Amino acid sequence: MKISLDEAKQYLRIDGSEDDDILTSFIVAAEEYLKDAGVTNTQAERYKIAVMILVTEWYENRGVSRVSDKASYSLQSLILQLR
């Protein structure tokens, strides 16, 4: 299930278009990350949530070198369920 730029912006409560390019990159990177992690069920709502977790983490923590423990746990749980 593809995540649109508008969905990501609504989820992150972002108005305006100044961050559109970086958000689009984060969406594509999140989908690639999940594919490389072995996720095959891309039609589940949980897939959308996993993409949003990654996009949110990367957007809100630009410059931080690792995913937060809370996001990491949620993401790992979703990845295991989606395989």
Highest mean pLDDT among 11-15, 55-59, 70-74, 77-81: 11-15
Position 66 scores a pLDDT of 61
Quote the pTM value: 0.79
**Ramachandran area for residue 21 (φ above 0: left; ψ -120 to 50: alpha; else beta):** alpha
Query: pLDDT, tens digit, for every residue of 23-73?
Result: 999 999 999 999 988 999 999 999 999 999 999 988 988 766 565 666 677
Q: pLDDT band at residue 83, thresholds of 50, 70 and 90?
A: confident
Q: What are the structural domain ranges in the chain? A: 5-82
Of the chain, the end-to-end C-alpha distance in Å amounts to: 15
Q: What would the CATH number be for the domain defined by 5-82? A: 1.10.3230
